[in-house]
Amino acid sequence: IFLFSQVTAETLILESKYKGKAILDLISILNITNLVLGIKKLPCKRRNDKLSEGEFVKKNAPKTCDVTLIYNSNVFVSDACLGEFPSYDLLSQNKDHSKRSFFHQCICFSGCVGVDKDN
């Protein structure tokens, strides 16, 4: 059973050369506790050791903020601490299941929050 409720959303425009650092600053300033970021490439497909903006934010976010990375509608779960060689696994190999799981865990940007009463 799902309950849907309206949430207030605010759009902020970031003008910064360092987007990851700016997002980290906003997490602290606005007391953000849950953040969902999309990534364009799989971490294991990168040719260099450079972290993407999403990986950088996840690695350096305060413990009070739960950062979730999304790639191609799939939720990724990483080791507790992103080290030099983070290992990412799909939450589920089944696309339909992973899409349902995504909506169980994340805020829908249309203004709804999916809540699973069983958990």
Tens of pLDDT, residues 23-76: 999 999 989 988 888 887 776 655 666 778 888 999 999 999 998 888 877 776
- Hey, what's the torsion of the CAs at 65, 69, 74, 80, to 10 degrees? -70
Q: Each residue of 72-107: pLDDT tens digit?
A: 777 766 543 344 333 344 443 444 444 444 444 443
Question: What pTM was computed for the model?
Answer: 0.55
Q: Can you tell me the distance from the alpha carbon of 2 to that of 115, in angstroms, rounded to the nearest whole number?
A: 5
- Distance between CA 101 and CA 53 in Å, rounded? 24
pLDDT at 95: 43
User: Domain ranges in the chain?
Assistant: 16-93
**What single-letter amino acid sits at 117?**
K
* Between 110 and 25, residue with greater pLDDT: 25
Burial of 81 (0-12, 13-18, 19+ CB in 10 A): exposed
